[in-house]
Amino acid sequence: MSIELKPMTQADVSALMNLFQLYLYDMSKYMHWPISQEGRFEFDENIVLAYFRQADHHPYFIMSNGEIAGFALVRRYPYDADLIDMGQFFILGKFKRQGLGQAALKACLQQHPGDWQVRVLPKNAGAQSFWTKAITVLTNDSHHTSSGDYQGTEMTFIHFSSKSALCSAD
């Protein structure tokens, strides 16, 4: 299975907004967000739009054999500009458990070398497992975790560097 990180352009905003609804649906298991009368999750659209307006925000489609398989939203962390932050990361269900997520993460790390963090909801056991396994493999188990608050939500923070030999180009 081939994967590609495809940088998004302004023309991709609508597609990302649609995919973001699926991301919010997945996350609603843990966040218990209400759904609007129109059947959509309501959220601050500036979260997504920032990726098209700010130079230190990088939106990518994760492509598998030419098909959109998900997205990765990479940015400089607003509370520490030395950190690269995975703002949001989403793989569509039919592409999960095939190694695509780890391959996409590796591509992100190669595209943005430096010190990284990933934030994960503690209740999201699937995401905790994925991120811990993928980061352990890609960094040769060179990472550390901490717990803390992010905008009023308790999160697990995983810190690591993409400078590991396993993250470098093949």
The tens digit of pLDDT for each residue in 126-150 reads 999 999 999 999 988 888 988 887 8
pLDDT at 112: 95
**Strands 57-64 and 80-91: what pairing?**
unpaired
Does residue 106 contact residue 152 with C-beta atoms inside 8 Å? no
pLDDT for 94 beyond 90: yes
* Domains of the chain with CATH codes: 3-167 (3.40.630.30)
Tell me what the pLDDT averaged over the chain comes to.
90
**Strands 115-120 and 80-91: what pairing?**
parallel
Beta carbons within 8 Å of 37's beta carbon, 6+ residues apart: none
SS (H, E, C) 115-144: EEEEEECCCCHHHHHHHHHHHHHHCCCCEE
Report the share of the chain in percent with pLDDT over 70. Answer: 95
Q: What is the pLDDT of residues 15-31, one digit of tens each?
A: 999 999 999 998 888 88
pLDDT at 143: 87
Query: CA distances (Å), 21 to each of 30, 43, 86, 134, in order?
Result: 15, 9, 18, 25
Does residue 74 contact residue 87 with C-beta atoms inside 8 Å? yes
Does residue 124 contact residue 131 with C-beta atoms inside 8 Å? no
Beta carbons within 8 Å of 20's beta carbon, 6+ residues apart: 43, 48, 88
pTM: 0.91
Residue appearing with tokens 């010190």? 115
Number of neighbouring beta carbons within 10 Å of residue 82: 8
CA atoms within 13 A on the CB side of 151: 7
Q: What is the pLDDT of residues 42-77, one digit of tens each?
A: 888 899 999 999 999 999 999 999 999 999 999 999
